[in-house]
Each structure stands twice: as C-alpha cells, then as structure tokens.
Structure 1
Amino acid sequence: MTFYFQRFEHRSPRPPIPHSPWRERLYQFLATIALVLGAWYLHWRWTASLNYEALWFAVPMVLAETLAFIGLILFTANIWKTRDTPISPPPASIRECVEEGDAPDRPVAVDIFFTTYDEEIDLVRLGIRDALALRYPHAIDLRIHILDDGRRPEMAAMASAEGVGYITRSTNLGFKAGNLRNALEATSGDFVVICDADTRPLPTLLERTLGYFRDPDVAWVQTPQWFYDLPEGTPLPEALRRWLGGVGALLGRGIERIAGPIHVGNDPFVNDPELFYQIIQRRRNWANASFCCGAGSIHRREAVMQAALTAYAETIERQARHDERQIRKLTREGALEESTRAQLRGQAALETEFTPYKFHVSEDIYTSIVLHSDPNRTWKSVFHPWIETKMLSPRDLLSWTIQRYKYAGGTLDILKNDNPLFRRGLSFWQRVMYGATFWSYLAGLWNLVFLAAPIIYLFSGIAPVSAYSVDFYKHILPFLVANEIAMMVGTWGIAGYKAKLWYLSFFPLNLRAIWAVVRGEQIKFKVTPKARQSGSFHRLVLPQIGIVILTLAAFGFAMTAFLLGSETYTAGGLIANGFWAANNIIAMSGIILAAFWQPDDEDITERTEEAAA
C-alpha cells in the first residue's frame, strides 16, 4: 500500500534546543519585569479605570484580564528554568536498574506495546518493523506486541508473519487503558514502551532512554512526539499568484524580501508540538512534574503496578467511607461497628476494578498524577528532550477536533472528579505545574470575553474602561511590550505566535468541554483517525466565522460613525479596539482556513467519512 507520508521518510528530527544559562537568566529578569508591570496594570484597572456606568461590561472584562494574568504567572513558573536529567549509559543487566538486593543478573526485558483498533494493517506493520530494528549495545530481551482491540484476523496474521506477539480481548472495556491493562496481565517485561498504531520508533529509542532507569526511583520517561508528515506548504509568492495572478506573485516576493521565506499551509492545524515538549514539558523536569503523554513513553512495570495498588486501596477506602455515611444517615447511628465497616470495605473491593492504567480518556496524565503522589514511594519522571519516535499528524479539522476535544475534556474531567491540586503526596511545585495545565483548559471562559469586548465597544461605543486616555496606554503598553519580549526570549528558537492565536480560536471546543464536564457528561474515548477525512468542515468553524463577521461589521460601523462626526467614539478607543479586533480576526482566520485546507498531494490513501460524524 502507498501512503502519502512516504515522501517524507527522508526527514530527520532536529536536536533539542541547546540550553543557554545566560538566556535563561535574561528571560527570568524580563519575565519578572513583565509580571510586575502586569500587576501594576491590574491594580490600576481594579482601582482607577472601571467604567462605573457599565459595570455589566467593565467587571467581566477586568475579571477576564485577572484570570488571564493568573495563567501568565503559572506559565512563567512552568518555563522558568531548564534542568535536563543527564543521560546515563544503557544498563547491561536488570541489576543496574533496581535497588541493591537479590535481583537476577540477566538482560533487561522490554515489552513494546502497539495499541490499535481500526487502523490500516500496513500502517501498524511499519511501526513493528522499526521496532524490530531498534539498537542496543548489550543483550536485551525485546518483546513486541500488537494490542488489537479490533480483534482482526488480518492483524493477527500480520503479527505472526513479522514474528511479534498478538494480544486481544473479548471486549473493549476501558478503551486504550483497558487494552493496556489486558496486555500487562499477559506480559512480564521490566519496562513497557507505549506506542500508538502510527508510532514509528527511531533506532536510538532504547539505547538513549533505558539509562535513566539506573535510578530505581524513575517510574517513566517521556520522549517528544514528532509529526514528520507536516506539509511543506506553498511559497508565499506562488500562493498569492493563485489568488491574485501576477500582482500577487510580485506582492509575495516583496513581502519575503522583508520578512524572509514564508510558506502557506506548512502546518495548517498548528500540529507541531515542539513548543509543548521542548518548552513546557522539558522545563518541568526540575520540579519532577513532567507528565506522561502516552505514545513514546517508557514505563517501569513495578511503578505502574505499585501505583495501581495504591489507587485501588484508595478507591476502596473512599467507597467504603461513602457507604458508611449513607448507612449512618439512614440509621442515625454515631458510628458503625468495626465488623460492619470491614464488610463495607469487602463489598467495595468486589465492586472495584484493579486498573494499572486508569479507565479514563486521559489515562496517561492520570497515571502520572497517581505516581507523582504515591505516598509509599517518591517516584520520579524524566522528560527526555531528544526525539525518539515519529508519528502522523491530524490532516483535517475533524480529526484535529476529535483529538483536541479529548485532551480538553479528559483533563477537565480529572480536575473536577479527582483534583490533583488537593491530592496528598504532591509537592508544591508539582501542584503548580499540574495547575498550569488545568488552568490553560479553562481559558475559553475569559477568551470569549476578549473576543466579544471589541465587538461590544465598536457597535455601542460603551467601553469597559473609564476612558481610552493617555493614562490607559501608559499602563497597558509597557506590560504588553515587556511580556512579548520576555516570551520571545523564554521560547527562543521556537515560533509560538501561531500557537497563541490558535489558543484563542480554540474557544468553542474549550467551552464545549467545560460544559460537558460541568454537566457530568462522560468524555468518551474516540480514536483519532489516522487517514485524512474528506468533506467540508465549515460547520466546525461557524463560531469563529461568526466572530470574524461581527468584528468586521462592528469596525465598519464604528469607523463610519466616527467619520460622520459621532461623539460616541474617541480616536484612542478606535485605535485600541481596532488593533484588538485585528488580532482577533487573524486568530480566527487560521482555524477557518484550516477547515478548507486541502493537501497538495493527490496520490494519497484516504478514508471517506461523513464530515458531521
């Protein structure tokens, strides 16, 4: 079978961004200035700038600014410093990976799991063959298994032909987490490597990561995910030529003379996760707070099982206490006898599933929280900054939406039902890091205010501030400029502007996930399609299209009124809200264009599905 991504096989991942101590100190200095200026601005906003004639608008606006500033504080703490864990030589024996004792002197045993449900057989075969080609300088007991929740005879035949294991089960209970649990029960390796169906291990995966486990407290190692199939895009002159002819080509060349080479559509869905892995995850190492992200992670079996036993005991005890409270409420007894309480615990044990991986749509981060908070052991996590696997990116907005909704809904569900911020066993900085993750998924609430604010002002002339005066610009501009410079230095080497814009345009999906969790709706596990879905996805971006139309209409309305001599608007207000409106339109345009994006290649394998599914 021919796949579209075969033309990208020659690509190699770039190495981690080198750590620069002087740039880190410069960032810390600039970030501190930005936060001080931000606090100064917010103090002024709350105490001296509210429009008391429109508190219905002024209070939500300043509250949104405050909540966003809290997010900035958390993000600043997250990326404050880089402390990479040194790479140790790969162990020759399992004795080198455990505490001193009676461990046998034998090669390390590693199970590699490829989880699959309905993906193409030949796609999974590519990952299997790459896993068979893994290098290791010592003897190693390597066991590769296909975990097929699709129960397909064709997949079993492929596993047999490639000489690897095939594990399936009669039901899909627990989805991916249940699939992993079933495989753990059927295997016995010291370490487990988790791969998705499209994961392609690079030859260095084991030789560069197993050395971390020389520290017996290291529970898992997470490696970056690299989407090697991101489109190369079209040069700007060529893209403009298609739309505007020769004039467009000249315009494109002129822009590139100033800004350098620009490609249109090179990452239409902002899938490149480098900012997340190289900045956010990597800079959590010092706090022992880098969390597991599923594919590309290596787990110590002992840690997973011990944490599962701890979580199992906690669940039983929690259920028994709940049942006891219900009985006491009915009987009005002060306390139950110990024999009755023992029976309640026994009943709870019968009703509780033992799950090495939590039956949850976000089982990876859930497992991280359980391990980091284990009261019986100080388990460590390691983020390894070198790319050791490659995989496929979502190539249509429907697939992207399925993936991002799963991330948002699953994370918020953990926040509501098993909030790690109040979980015993986590350190202060681990709580801060997890808090930064959860806070980021609540941003849809205040981003909606930021999108609506310029529309309200431009249509009505009502401002959330007492006046768009010199005093306003004196307070806001230093903060905005200082923050942009600090972020540029803090994320040096990685372009983050598009990611920030998409973070704003993410608001409908974000709000939908928040509403689903508040209502108690179960966030279902849905496999992200590995093949491009055909069809029109404009319905997925109707809210963003609506924001663009309303913003343009509002700006046109306000400018017309101002030019006709209306005293409702001020020049300062139009300037501030004009730039604000332009930023919002640019932010929305990225995801709108992605809904209509089509790949340049025609000879690709695609699966046709209804876009509204």
Structure 2
Amino acid sequence: MLYGTAAFSLQAIFRHRYELSVSCLLLLWLAAAFGATKLHTRFRIILLVTVMAYQAVYIVWRIFFTLPLHAGLLSMVCGLALISAELLGAWQSTVLSLFSLKKYQPPRVIWPRDVPLPRVDILVLTYNEPINLLRKTLVACKNMDYPEKLLHICLCDDGARPEAWALCDELGVCYIARKERSFAKAGNLNHALAQNTGAFFALFDADMIPKPNFLKETIGYFSDPNVGFVQTPQVFYSPDPFQFNLKFYDRIPNEQDFFMREIQESRARYNAVLHVGTNAVFRRKAVDAIGGIPTGTITEDIATGLLIQAKGYTSVFVNKILAVGLAVDRFSDLIQQRERWCRGHIQVSKKWNVLKMPGLRFRQRLIYFNELIYWLFGVQKMIYILCPLLYLICGLTILNATPCSLLMLWLPTFAGLVLSFRSFRHQNRKIMWSHIYEAAMAPYLAAAFLTEWLIGKPVPFHVTPKERTAKRAAFSWHMALPHIVLSALTVLGWAITFWRIQSGGCSGTVLQAIVINAVWSVYNMIAIVAGILLCLEQPHLRATERIPGRAAVLLRAAGRTEPISCSLLDLSETGVRLECDTVNLQKSDRVQIDFPYATGVRATVVRRKVWENRSDEMALRFTELSEKQYAGIIRCLTQWSNGYFHPEAPSDLETSRVPSYTLQRNAE
C-alpha cells in the first residue's frame, strides 16, 4: 500500500495494542469459521457473513479515512482508481460466494419411454477449419447413440469450400452453404435453421467432437416443455497456452475450466446459464420465439441464451464431459479470442440492458450484470500493477494510512477472502494462478474494454485458429511488449528505491512504505514474467493430439500364430502408442491391431524402445483405415477423453466396450 504518515515502531505497536489485539481475534475467528466449513458446508454462511462484514468495514475505512486529500490532484485521482479497483474486487468475490453457497445438482432425466423420440438436427458450424478436423467431428456426430433415422447431421460451411462439400458427400451428411456471409456465425446458423425442421437442434463448433452419449444425457430434459436449451461444458483435450508454453502441461487445469465447470454450475441454479456457442441442444420453438439467433454482436451465443431466458424458458446445465475440443494453440490467438468475448459482452449489454430487460428475475439480472463487470478485470489488474510503481518511481502517495491500520483492517479482510475462496474447494482455480491469468491478459483486455465501451468501433469476427503446427519455438515480441515495459518499470522502481535507501534519505515512515510497495511489486512481477514467458510459443510438432487410454489391445504380427496382448498408452486418429511384452519387431514392420470398436487396423512400427526389465514401448502409425475402422477409432477417442487435465479411460478391453445405451426401442 502507499502511505505517508505515522511511523511504524515498537512504540506505535504499544500504542495500538488494543487494535492489534482485535485484529488477532478477528483472524482467530476467521480460522475457526474456516475450520467449521471442513466439518459441514452449512457453516460456509457463517464464514461468508464474517468476510462480508470485514469487507464493509474495510471499504468504509478506505473511502473516508485513507484518500490522499492533500497530496495533489494526481494522487487523488490515483487514490480513487485504487479504491474503485478494490470495490470491484469486493463485489466480484461477494457475488461469487453468494451464488456458490448451494450446489446445483439437477436430477438426470431420460426421455419418457412411452413417448416417441424426437428428430434432432446436428449443426456443425465451420468457416475455414481443416478438413481432417471436420471429418473427426462429423464422424463423432454419426457415432452418437441415437436412432439414425432421427439424426439429421449438417455441416454449415460459411466458407463454401468444394472440399467440405466432397467430405459431406463421402460421409453421407447434409452440406449447407450460403452465397453471402453477413452476420458471421449468427448469420450462418440462421441460414442453416431455415433449411431444417427438427423440433430440436444440437450445436457444435468445428473442433468439438461429441461423445456417443451426448444426446442420451441431454435430450431427456426437453420432456419438460419449459426447457429452452441444455448447455454442457466446453472441455479441451489439448493444452492451452498457459499449460503448454509455461510447460505445466496437465499439472494445472485449463484456464477456462473454472468458468465452464464451476461458475456455470452456480449460474444454473438461478436459470442464468451462459450459452457458450457450442455443445448445447436447443428447442427450436424457443429460438423461434426470440426471432432466431440474434445478430448485431460478435457474441451471438450470449445474447441467444439471455433472450431465451427472458422469454420465460428454463436453461439446464449438465455438468458432464459430453464433448471435447481443441484449446487455443497460441497466446496471441487466446488474447484475440478474449478480446472478442470482452467486446461482445459490452455489445450485448448496450443492445439488451439486463437491468431493464423485461422477463428477467432479480438474480438473473444480477448474474448477467456481474458477467459484464467481470470484464473490467483488465483495468482492475492494471491499477494494481501500476500503483506500487507510481510510488517507487515517482514517490506518489495514493493511500494515506499507517502500517498498524493496514495490519488491523486490510490483513483480516484479505485473509477472509482467501479462506472464503478455499472453503468452496474450487478444484479448477488457485488464487496465485488467477493472479497470473489476469495479469497476463490485463494490458490487452483493459484496452479492449475501454475501446469498446467508450468508442464502440465495429470489429470483424475472426475464427479462432486451431490445429496449427510449428517446428521451432518463436517469440512474439509484439505480444510481449506490454509486459516487457511493465517489467522494465518494475526494475526501474527497484533501482530508484535502492538508490534512495543507499543515499540515506529515507525516514522510518518512508522506509516502511518502500518495503510494502516493493513486496507488492515483487508479487506483480511474478505474473509479469509469466506473461513474457507465455509469448515464447513452444513448438507444436504433432498434427493430431494424442488421447491417453488404458485399454487392452491385440497385436498381430507376421510370423506369429498367436496375437500379442498389449496395453494401450495413448491414441490419435493417425497412430497409437503401445506397451507390450518383449517382441521381436523392428522399425517399419507391419502389423494389425484389434481395438475396441475397430479390428484389423493396419499399422507400421515407427519407433520402438526397449526398457531394461520392462516391456517394449512402440509407436505405430496407421497405414490404412476403412470408414468403419476410422469411426471405431473416433469412438474410442471420444469415449476415453475427459479433457487434458483429467484423462480417464476404461481399464481393459472388456471394460472399454461400455454397453451402448441406445434409444432404438423408444423410436419404434
């Protein structure tokens, strides 16, 4: 913090012994309340009320007692900015905690057996994605456990590519293209809906491959005529830039998992599920009631869900991994994606004011308003990064307080926020990683928010690139520039601080202020350095992602009468890695492999490792795949993949053959 008054000494501690005793008691109470949440979740409300009370006292103290009223206009403006950032943080943490108090667990609903199953249109939206990626998604759609005559699969190609049409003709699925491409994805979807008549439609991005049980787990909820759409989480089977470029891989969750798996679940309890543009099933009647997919924004998905809920329809969130897709490859692409989301939220809020929109309940308004406020995190984080630097470099006073008062008021509040967050046992987010995520994106998202809010200049819709390959690492200087500047300013602040201390011109009060701001800047510097490292794009050598699996497969080699039992380690649509007992196979040898759902698959050995006192490990590339074999491989991939962070798979060949829950009987 930044202050410029009373000294911090043993005499000051003695004078404030009563206040410090109160602070210690508050910390002990927080610890006791947090411990109680370990015994039962109902005690969370006690912890939450305590933290809210601490926050209220702290904010009042900050507003009325710590503003640098006599330090000049610039200090006053910066002081107000810092208080605004803290108010924003208090609002966000309170809303998150309140809406996370009770867990959302909707009962699993199966379509009534005495009611014929409905026809479902499967719409896969594409513009310029690779054909091999589209093939994987379309085959996965065909693999769904649903009566074939009731599935109508369509590739909605806004690129109008002949090769995409040829792929659809090969696979026997519908191909839809339009001559003009107005309104981007929303226009593409509206055009596709005009060509289809199903009572329900499922929506997938080009890289999202559904599991066979996708419709089995979602269509049953529509037996309630008031359900407008069912949303499932976006889960990724490839690493995001934080996992890949920072080389943490599957030791940390995907950056989006916290929202997709936990925030969405909290929103669902109040019928405020955010439609994320894919992995969802809609009632056609509900979409028609809002006049089709809304246009005029670059995030039509948010507006679609919002308008359906405002019409009185219910939204359901099924928190199961029912489709998996590719994460953004590069940090620059991730920033471009988040800038689009940020601008889109602002565009939606300007066109449909959630605070005044008819049909929404108070809690829905609050959640959607909070969603808009969230995108101020870039501005908020930049304030937190710049404030200590302004003091270290310029000596600018932004907060007028003593160390004792900070110890008494700020420390219990901060500790309460940390304990409150931990009490909800968030599996997909840690406080330090939140700091890194936000600081890494802050310079770009702050500029995007302010530009869209103040100017609102139209920006074109860009499809997020997927499945890129790169043989060498490359450093993105233009993306790293803001973080390089911030790191240089931080080092400059440290140098000036060192010089001031060495020159002996620092009194006790100034020295204390320097220490506090130096520690603050070190905390920020950790995230700034991570932002720079993110711009070092690591090589992407694999054209296709491997999915870990634990299944028994049979290997048939020339010259052997009996098949060899092997354990599958990982699998892609182009090859497999196996572990077997010692076998006399060499590079380029040809074999046949029996997988669950795909037998007689021809492959060539491309690499073999022999471990001492262990089995051989072999990498094999598929040489020929029939249409049926390819469909079987895709079924294995989708069935085994539960995302990059939590890979799960059946344990052997028999358990890999999970009985398909088909709905053929109901369709008859």
Instruction: Classify the TM-score, shorter chain.
Output: 0.7 to 0.9
**What's the offset of the Cα at 1:409?**
0.7
Answer yes or no: is the 8 Å Cα contact 2:241–2:534 preserved in 1: no
Does residue 358 (structure 1) correspond to residue 305 (structure 2)? The answer is no
Does residue 132 (structure 1) correspond to residue 145 (structure 2)? The answer is no
Alignment match, 1:69: 90
Alignment match, 1:184: 193
Residue type of the partner of 1:221? V
Q: After the TM superposition, which residues 458-607 of structure 1 pair with which residues of structure 2 at under 5 Å, given as runs?
A: 458-497=392-431, 498-514=433-449, 515-532=451-468, 536-567=475-506, 570-599=510-539, 602-604=541-543
Does residue 288 (structure 1) correspond to residue 271 (structure 2)? The answer is yes
Alignment match, 1:221: 230
Does residue 304 (structure 1) correspond to residue 287 (structure 2)? The answer is yes
Alpha-carbon distance in structure 2 between the residues aligned to 1:71 and 1:598 = 34
Structure 1 unaligned segments of length 5 or more: list them.
Answer: 1-19, 96-105, 240-262, 309-354, 607-613
Alignment match, 1:368: 305
Return closer, same or farther for 1:398/1:60 CA change in 2, 3 Å cut-off: closer
Alignment match, 2:109: 88
Return closer, same or farther for 1:117/1:233 CA change in 2, 3 Å cut-off: closer
**What's the offset of the Cα at 1:590?**
2.3
**What's the offset of the Cα at 1:285?**
1.6
Residue type of the partner of 1:530? K
Residue type of the partner of 1:537? S
Answer yes or no: is the 8 Å Cα contact 1:268–1:590 preserved in 2: no
Residue type of the partner of 1:123? L
Alpha-carbon distance in structure 2 between the residues aligned to 1:233 and 1:56 = 35
Answer yes or no: is the 8 Å Cα contact 1:278–1:385 preserved in 2: yes
SS where residue 53 of structure 2 aligns? helix
Answer yes or no: is the 8 Å Cα contact 1:107–1:139 preserved in 2: no
Alpha-carbon distance in structure 2 between the residues aligned to 1:142 and 1:22 = 48
Residue type of the partner of 2:503? L
Q: Quick check: 462-471 or 447-456, which moved more?
A: 462-471
Q: 2:60 aligned to 43, 60, 69, which one?
A: 43
Q: After the TM superposition, which residues 383-532 of structure 1 pair with which residues of structure 2 at under 5 Å, given as runs?
A: 383-497=317-431, 498-514=433-449, 515-532=451-468
Structure with more helix by fraction: 1
Count of matched residue pairs? 499
Alignment match, 2:70: 53
**What's the offset of the Cα at 1:577?**
1.4
Alpha-carbon distance in structure 1 between the residues aligned to 2:536 and 2:461 = 26
**What's the offset of the Cα at 1:61?**
2.0
Residue type of the partner of 2:412? P
Alpha-carbon distance in structure 2 between the residues aligned to 1:90 and 1:139 = 17
Alpha-carbon distance in structure 2 between the residues aligned to 1:284 and 1:233 = 26
**What's the offset of the Cα at 1:273?**
1.9
Does residue 115 (structure 1) correspond to residue 134 (structure 2)? The answer is no
Return closer, same or farther for 1:140/1:555 CA change in 2, 3 Å cut-off: farther
Answer yes or no: is the 8 Å Cα contact 1:125–1:158 preserved in 2: yes
Alignment match, 1:278: 261
Q: Quick check: 567-576 or 508-517, which moved more?
A: 567-576
Q: Deviations over 1:17-60 (max 9, x none)?
A: xxx99654343332322221111111111122222232233232
Answer yes or no: is the 8 Å Cα contact 2:203–2:278 preserved in 1: yes
SS where residue 115 of structure 1 aligns? strand
SS where residue 207 of structure 1 aligns? helix
**What's the offset of the Cα at 1:222?**
0.7
Does residue 162 (structure 1) correspond to residue 179 (structure 2)? The answer is no
Residue type of the partner of 1:555? W
Return closer, same or farther for 1:451/1:292 CA change in 2, 3 Å cut-off: same
Q: Deviations over 1:310-366 (max 9, x none)?
A: xxxxxxxxxxxxxxxxxxxxxxxxxxxxxxxxxxxxxxxxxxxxx434343111110
Return closer, same or farther for 1:161/1:589 CA change in 2, 3 Å cut-off: same
**What's the offset of the Cα at 1:71?**
2.5
Answer yes or no: is the 8 Å Cα contact 1:371–1:379 preserved in 2: yes
**What's the offset of the Cα at 1:121?**
0.7
* Higher radius of gyration, 1 or 2: 2
Return closer, same or farther for 1:597/1:489 CA change in 2, 3 Å cut-off: farther
Alpha-carbon distance in structure 2 between the residues aligned to 1:500 and 1:220 = 34
Alpha-carbon distance in structure 1 between the residues aligned to 2:481 and 2:254 = 21
Structure 2 unaligned segments of length 5 or more: list them.
Answer: 1-36, 546-668
Alpha-carbon distance in structure 2 between the residues aligned to 1:478 and 1:21 = 20
Residue type of the partner of 1:557? I
Alpha-carbon distance in structure 1 between the residues aligned to 2:122 and 2:310 = 26
TM-score by length of 1: 0.76
Answer yes or no: is the 8 Å Cα contact 1:91–1:210 preserved in 2: no
